[in-house]
């Protein structure tokens, strides 16, 4: 005889998976360590838009409910990676030790990425199956209520032939595993003709492409300013100095071309014209995890008076990107829960080259994001969520 | 008996007065010369927001319909002033000659300003009467369909006692003459307790205060960016180097205090907090009509990572201000026509310290301005205009 | 019968004292920790001019022979202070632990500073005696072959009346204790009428004033460039953003005035004229131990063409100052050994406002410094040392 | 019977030729117009080093004694070119009119340049003869006491094969005509294996290469500063935005390569190491005759503290170059007069990539230049001048 049967059965709070492509990179490590630190109250959620008031009622998954895993081609374990980041000033000293358990737990869920260049052992479709199986296995073993796949790997060169580049294999695997997909990089991901319409056909939402964390973030507020004030931008020139792995990856002209396309699109979209000027991306290892972006904008005022605005942005890319990755994971998981499918164009606030149609000025994108936060509030899922 | 009655009487197109306080200053001279140049098709209307598409149907007075006059305490005739500006690169060479007739015409409509400091010959009320008579006389002689008074004089020191400073005498005169009033400077103008509610009681609209042309314009787009991205601004420091008359006027700490108050209000309003940091205004005559504003913004990202944004704005203040003065004159004349009265808070886009309640981010102010442009479209005046 | 008497008695290597006024400040802590770290081979001697080739034969005391002590009015022990500096990124993480023993040893040799403001318990002369006794006691107990007193305390306000400010009491105490004196700050030190000629009468050398570590260092190479190229500098404006204790100290207008005087002197001396422009020093605690200096230089080229150079210097003041403090201690100890007395004008390379007469361009100062290094090579002391 | 025979015969003051390759370009036009303006007392000689005190006794040819001519491949006459420069703000308004006669006179002495690319009508040697005849004809008709050839043409691509590029043809022609040669550009000129030792064999002096007018000028004072202070430069990155013809010429990667080689050599020479970092040269026509150079220098201080210096140089290249061209013409004419032959390494002050051996820091180069000025003072020509 026991009282237990009459007690209401409290099901454990649902947990959600965040599967990171490039799970041992700087951005991923910062996101995983930071999520644990903020969830534990060790740090305020600076840089996390989803922790601000407009998102309070949007039923986003709690930070403490997020479980991390992912693919990567490198072996350096997350706790060691976090130590490196602390030495470089990206993570606070002491943080790697404080969240050691969470880093170890996430590291156990990282599976080998691939395929290696020139691999001929498996077909592309087989690779997609392998990756999808990894993701499904993660969701099953961890008993997750849902999961999202987020690409935070180094930028890959623009694909040369029609074959699927690695980022597209992972993207296809996400869908095949029933997960929404977010592309935080300029790599191809779902932007491949062979994958067009695939997310819709799987009934899954997706977002991207190329997180807006520095120079382009600035351009998305300065461009509209010039346009609204009817000032004529004559030339917009920029130089980016990047240390870390990103600098090396983007020193490859093909990778830089992918990145620059997004930057230029923002200018052209916000200004309505394409001004003179180039964008350079330099690899400067001495800068470590920091990057510096200098912009020089020559514009005309009334009667042709020539004026100049210069900006210098000195930021830590991982610290800027990581909170946005957590934002996107939460928003996309919730959107999936609500039955939304296809391109989440309302998330253009986060991207240089947003999916779907939407405004290009940050202010209008923010307005859209707040509307999106309202849509996520409804307690009853939309009909398509009943599938 | 005559044939004339059957002919349609073509009334001449209505003309509108723009009465400038500080009518021989750089801003006024640039506005008058530029209005003539743009109206004649010599230059595109760069910097004039009211010449962009959203304002096309707002029935704003044509540039060619504007007639200029004003008060000033200096004697240098407008054509000569324009030559100086051309030598300094503010006006294109050749422009003063091309619009000589218009400058001479405007110069003939400039009346002596006052009162001189320490004047005891007239009471403040008598001075208001003198100024109001000047304005009424201008409207009558020129047979104007309406007029607006715009203060573009040098910044005056914050008033020390309860008496009305000169800018307030002119503001009161504008109302007494039945004209809307725009304060493009940080001077007191209608912001004096003794003048509270006066515009409403006269049934007149007014706008101000302190045109947003450089550093604060930038701050009104950068502040919201930091807020929307949940980045923590720790310190925002600024230095302004000003040549020309404005630099000398603002080297007076009392005048600078008036100007800085507006700048700091924008930061506090857009960020929601008041960061560390000071603003300096230096008089650097060597810069001529140009100004340079350097801003240094220290902000924290995720987990407290310290980052920095710097901006350097090199602008010609008169070239930035003049098209906005023309915008405001046109919008306010039209608002008056439509029967709008009291503070035109929808014009916050133009000001550091806008009248009425309104948003402080430039993007939201621009949205308001476009709504305002729509309100001005209605062909039938609003009911309150019948009063 | 023993062989010992016939053995040559190996005297231990001589050791030299470095007595720091402000011994628990950032500069002192960095100098003490860094001296130990470099001596132990943990770090290269970056920033130490005396470790470069031209000084190799100058018989400067080895870093390992330096013994630290000093006066300070605060209690925070050096090891704790070093931890704070490591958290702020001034010292490498791990360094405070690695040199803990040396920090503890130095901390034991720190004596209370004074007098407190408004103190009436002792006369100024009695305070000098107290300080001199502290120094003599240090030299005796540690069995030092010589010692130098270096002022690295926060800038004090320019003295208002004829009384000796604290920095001058310490300077007089140094001489009374038979030690050379170096003033690394803009405080008065030996620059007080009551102390004129005192060092000479004691037969002691001295150096100063106000270490050249950032904006002024730059000015001392840029000023000569403009002069040599016959370019006409019209205006030179500057803003300094300082965190840390120095920012707070210099927010006191009287202290800032002392600092600015040195900066302006460098400009006037290197340019031959005094251009327009001001210098601001702002306290920005958010910057921690870092400072940012922005300079804006408006200059004319051929036929009056207007051009602009801007510089932004982001430095860590303690990291810039500490190696120079070690340089100066070594050079001055050696100069004393060589019998040099009075102002060491050849050390102008290090200072904003050098003692004695000397060139103001950094390049010429460096040439002088190298000549000085040669003078120090002679093995036999100069005759005047026999006095 | 007449008194005349007993009167001393006053020979007219000697005049000297300045033969400019690229005689209708911006630099040449500014030099010709400016020489006339300064000689007439219309403007001070800002930017002309040879008009400063150390050169007063060096017997340099007076500005009024200089006669201009040259080669160019374009037809736009100098007076018209000068008007364009005045519209762009390079020359003061009114100057082209004031020196119209001198511009017309110089324009009459401009001969067609060549050979056109792919020309097969003449051999290279024949072209050299044509050019040398032009120069000799100029000297003879104008009855000049001497002449110098200065290359101020647009930068040509680095030569691909062993043939002589145009700049080398002109250089050989200068020597063949008995004239000293100065190469103010990075083009090959005398730096061609086929021309090695040629100037010496003709007994002629020469100077070059690549005038130091902006970014590299700065680097030649900042590099030594870092070296002298023992600060470790980790990365030195730079971006140049150039309008005008130079921007277009240097957008050609081969031309840019020639220019960048000089810039990097200055860094390597002044720092003693080659830091990380790249240099970009962008063509930005909107900037007109102005150029902007941004440099970002990452350096380490004591114990590895990371610091950054940024510089932004906004200059008018023609205004910076023209007075140096006049300096060099005067110095080289005088050197020839004094019998100096071969590379004038003492003129390294003016060049990015100086001929001969010499120091690379601007300060040391200036010292050399002053010694050179002293050498030129001797009234009796050196023996080798008696040939």
**What tens digit of pLDDT does each residue of A139-185 get?**
999 999 999 999 999 988 877 777 899 999 999 999 999 999 999 99
Residue B64 φ/ψ, nearest 5 degrees:
-70, -10
The whole-angstrom separation of Cα B184 and Cα B326 is 11
Q: Cβ–Cβ of B89/D87 closer than 8 Å?
A: no
Kindly report the CATH class assigned to C16-211+319-378: alpha beta
Q: Cβ–Cβ of C285/B276 closer than 8 Å?
A: yes
Please compute the mean of the pLDDT values over residues D213-222 and round it to a whole number. Answer: 92
Give ipTM to 2 decimals.
0.92
Closest residue by Cα to residue D130 from D194, D164, D176, D163? D176
Q: Cβ–Cβ of B310/A309 closer than 8 Å?
A: no
Taking one residue from B and the other from C, the number of pairs with CB-CB distance under 8 angstroms is 67
Distance between B152 CA and the closest CA of chain A, angstroms:
17
Contacts of A93 in chain C (CB under 8 A): 87, 93
Closest residue by Cα to residue D265 from D350, D183, D353, D351? D353
Among C236, C241, C289, C305, the strongest candidate for a mutation testing the B interface, having the largest count of B CBs within 10 A, is C241
Closest residue by Cα to residue C277 from C216, C222, C236? C236
Helix (H) or strand (E) holding B112, with range, is: strand B110-112
Please compute the mean of the pLDDT values over residues B70-96 and round it to a whole number. Answer: 95
Q: How confident is the model at residue D1 (pLDDT cuts 50, 70, 90)?
A: very low
Query: By CA distance, what is C312's nearest residue in A?
Result: A312
**What pTM was computed for the model?**
0.93
D241 token code pair: 């935005």
Q: How confident is the model at residue B74 (pLDDT cuts 50, 70, 90)?
A: very high
**What tens digit of pLDDT does each residue of D180-217 get?**
999 999 999 999 999 999 999 999 999 989 999 988 99
- Tell me how many degrees the CA angle C222-C225-C229 measures, rounded to the nearest 5: 150
Q: Cβ–Cβ of A241/D235 closer than 8 Å?
A: yes
| Pair type for strands C306-316 and D306-316 | antiparallel
Query: By CA distance, what is B314's nearest residue in D?
Result: D314
- Structural contact between residues C24 and C80, judged by C-beta atoms closer than 8 angstroms: no
At B213 the pLDDT is 92
Give the bridge partners for C66, in sequence order: C16
Contacts of A312 in chain C (CB under 8 A): 312
Closest residue by Cα to residue D177 from D117, D229, D129, D223? D129
A9 token code pair: 């059965």
Sorted by where each begins, the domain ranges of chain D are 16-211+319-378, 215-316
Among C88, C235, C271, C281, the strongest candidate for a mutation testing the B interface, having the largest count of B CBs within 10 A, is C235
**What tens digit of pLDDT does each residue of A65-105 get?**
999 999 999 999 999 999 999 988 899 999 999 999 999 99
The whole-angstrom separation of Cα B331 and Cα B184 is 14
Distance between A90 CA and the closest CA of chain B, angstroms:
6
The whole-angstrom separation of Cα A302 and Cα C168 is 59
Residue C11 burial by Cβ neighbours in a 10 Å radius (0-12, 13-18, 19+): exposed
3-state secondary structure (DSSP) of residue D34 = helix
- Structural contact between residues A30 and B303, judged by C-beta atoms closer than 8 angstroms: yes
Overall fold of domain A215-316: Dihydrodipicolinate Reductase; domain 2 (3.30.360)
Place of tokens 């001199």: C132
- Tell me how many degrees the CA angle D5-D8-D10 measures, rounded to the nearest 5: 120
Q: Cβ–Cβ of A93/C89 closer than 8 Å?
A: no
Q: Can you give the pLDDT of all 387 residues of chain C as single tens digits? A: 444 455 556 677 899 999 999 999 999 999 999 999 999 999 999 999 999 999 999 999 999 999 999 999 999 999 999 999 998 889 999 999 999 999 999 999 999 997 665 667 889 999 999 999 999 999 999 999 999 999 999 988 877 777 899 999 999 999 999 999 999 999 999 999 999 999 999 999 999 999 999 889 999 999 999 999 999 999 999 999 998 766 666 666 766 776 677 677 788 888 988 999 999 999 999 998 899 999 999 999 999 999 999 999 999 999 999 999 999 999 999 999 999 999 999 999 999 999 999 999 999 999 999 999 999 998 655 444 333
Q: Cβ–Cβ of C93/A93 closer than 8 Å?
A: yes
Place of tokens 């030190």: C189
- The dihedral built from the CA positions of residue A193, A199, A205 and A206, taken in this order, carries a sign that is negative
Closest residue by Cα to residue A151 from A18, A347, A333? A18
Q: Cβ–Cβ of D286/A235 closer than 8 Å?
A: yes
Q: Cβ–Cβ of B234/C294 closer than 8 Å?
A: no
Residue A318 φ/ψ, nearest 5 degrees:
-65, -40
The arrangement of strands across the sheet holding C110-112 comes to C110-112, C66-72, C16-21, C146-151, C181-183, C205-208, C342-343
B363 token code pair: 């993007």
Closest residue by Cα to residue A249 from A158, A155, A341? A155
Place of tokens 């779907």: A356
pLDDT for residue D258 is more than 70: no
Give the DSSP per-residue string, D87-110: HTTSS-TTHHHHTHHHHHHHHHTE
Q: How confident is the model at residue A248 (pLDDT cuts 50, 70, 90)?
A: low
Percent of chain B surpassing pLDDT 90: 78
Query: By CA distance, what is C83's nearest residue in A?
Result: A93
Contacts of A221 in chain B (CB under 8 A): 221-222, 224-225, 363
Q: Cβ–Cβ of D89/B89 closer than 8 Å?
A: yes
Q: Closest to A284 (Cβ–Cβ): which among D237, D285, D292?
A: D237
Buried b (16+ CB within 10 A) or exposed e, A100-124: eebbebbbebbbebbbeeeeeeeeb
C240 token code pair: 């300094």
Q: Closest to C217 (Cβ–Cβ): which among D90, D225, D311?
A: D225
Q: How many other CB atoms sit within 10 Å of the CB of residue C227?
A: 18
Give the bridge partners for C72, in sequence order: C112
Closest residue by Cα to residue C351 from C202, C125, C190? C190
Q: Cβ–Cβ of B282/C287 closer than 8 Å?
A: no
Helix (H) or strand (E) holding B246, with range, is: helix B244-250
Q: Cβ–Cβ of C93/A89 closer than 8 Å?
A: no
Q: Closest to C323 (Cβ–Cβ): which among D302, D312, D322?
A: D302
- Structural contact between residues C320 and D299, judged by C-beta atoms closer than 8 angstroms: no
At C258 the pLDDT is 66
pLDDT for residue B190 is more than 60: yes
The whole-angstrom separation of Cα B120 and Cα B113 is 15
Query: By CA distance, what is A86's nearest residue in C?
Result: C93
Query: By CA distance, what is B37's nearest residue in A?
Result: A303
Query: By CA distance, what is A88's nearest residue in C?
Result: C89
Residue A15 φ/ψ, nearest 5 degrees:
-120, 155
First and final C-alpha spacing in chain B: 39
Q: How confident is the model at residue D266 (pLDDT cuts 50, 70, 90)?
A: confident
The whole-angstrom separation of Cα A196 and Cα A186 is 17
Buried b (16+ CB within 10 A) or exposed e, D124-142: beebbbbbbebbbebbeeb
First and final C-alpha spacing in chain A: 41
Angle between helices B26-39 and B100-108 (to 10 degrees): 130
B352 token code pair: 């550091």
The whole-angstrom separation of Cα D229 and Cα D210 is 28
Query: By CA distance, what is B87's nearest residue in D?
Result: D93
- Structural contact between residues A15 and A145, judged by C-beta atoms closer than 8 angstroms: yes
Task: Please report how many Cα atoms fall inside a 13 Å half-sphere around the Cα of residue C337, on the Cβ side.
Answer: 24
Residue D339 φ/ψ, nearest 5 degrees:
85, 10
At A272 the pLDDT is 85
Number of continuous H segments (helices) and E segments (strands) in chain C: 12, 11
Distance between D229 CA and the closest CA of chain C, angstroms:
6
Query: By CA distance, what is C370's nearest residue in D?
Result: D228
Contacts of D85 in chain C (CB under 8 A): none
Q: How confident is the model at residue D259 (pLDDT cuts 50, 70, 90)?
A: low
pLDDT for residue D143 is more than 80: yes
- CA distances (Å), A172 to each of A258, C126, D86, in order? 20, 84, 62
Please compute the mean of the pLDDT values over residues D83-111 and round it to a whole number. Answer: 95
Helices (H), chain C: 26-39, 78-87, 95-98, 100-108, 124-141, 166-176, 198-202, 215-228, 244-251, 253-271, 317-337, 362-375
pLDDT for residue B386 is more than 50: no
Give the DSSP per-residue string, B332-371: HHHHHHTT--EE-GGGGGGBSS-SSS---SHHHHHHHHHH
Chains that touch C (3 or more CB pairs under 8 A): A, B, D
Look at B133-142, B278-287, C63-72 and tell me which has the smallest mean pLDDT. B278-287
């Amino acid at each position: 005889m026991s009282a237990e049967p009459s007690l209401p059965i409290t099901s454990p709070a649902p947990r959600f998976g965040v599967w990171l492509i490039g799970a041992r990179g700087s951005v991923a490590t910062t996101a995983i360590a930071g999520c644990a630190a903020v969830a534990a109250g060790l740090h305020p959620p600076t840089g996390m838009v989803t922790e601000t008031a407009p998102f309070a009622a949007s039923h986003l998954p709690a930070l403490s409910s997020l479980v991390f895993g992912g693919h990567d081609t490198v072996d350096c374990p997350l706790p060691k990676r976090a130590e490196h980041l602390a030495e470089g000033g990206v993570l606070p000293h002491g943080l790697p030790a404080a969240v050691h358990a969470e880093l170890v737990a996430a590291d156990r869920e990282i599976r080998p990425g691939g395929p290696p260049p020139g691999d001929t052992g498996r077909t592309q479709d087989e690779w997609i199956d392998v990756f999808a199986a990894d993701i499904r296995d993660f969701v099953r073993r961890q008993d997750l209520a849902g999961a999202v796949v987020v690409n935070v790997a180094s930028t890959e060169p623009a694909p040369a032939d029609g074959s699927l580049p690695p980022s597209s294999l992972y993207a296809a695997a996400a869908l095949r595993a029933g997960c929404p997909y977010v592309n935080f990089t300029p790599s191809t991901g779902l932007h491949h003709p062979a994958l067009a319409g695939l997310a819709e056909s799987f009934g899954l939402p997706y977002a991207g492409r190329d997180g807006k964390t520095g120079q382009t973030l600035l351009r998305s507020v300065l461009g509209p300013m010039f346009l609204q004030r009817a000032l004529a931008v004559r030339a917009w020139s920029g130089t980016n100095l990047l240390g870390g792995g990103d600098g090396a990856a983007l020193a490859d002209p093909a990778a830089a071309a992918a990145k620059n396309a997004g930057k230029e699109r923002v200018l052209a979209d916000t200004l309505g014209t394409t001004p003179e000027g180039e964008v350079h991306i330099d690899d400067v290892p001495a800068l470590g995890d920091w990057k510096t972006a200098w912009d020089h904008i020559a514009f005309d005022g009334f009667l042709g008076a020539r004026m100049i605005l210069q900006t210098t942005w000195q930021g830590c890319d991982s610290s800027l990107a990581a909170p946005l990755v957590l934002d996107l994971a939460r928003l996309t998981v919730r959107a999936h829960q609500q039955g939304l499918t296809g391109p989440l164009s309302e998330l253009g606030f986060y991207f240089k080259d947003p999916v779907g149609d939407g405004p290009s000025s940050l202010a209008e994108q923010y307005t859209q994001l707040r509307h999106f936060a309202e849509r996520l509030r409804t307690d009853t899922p939309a009909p398509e969520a009943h599938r």
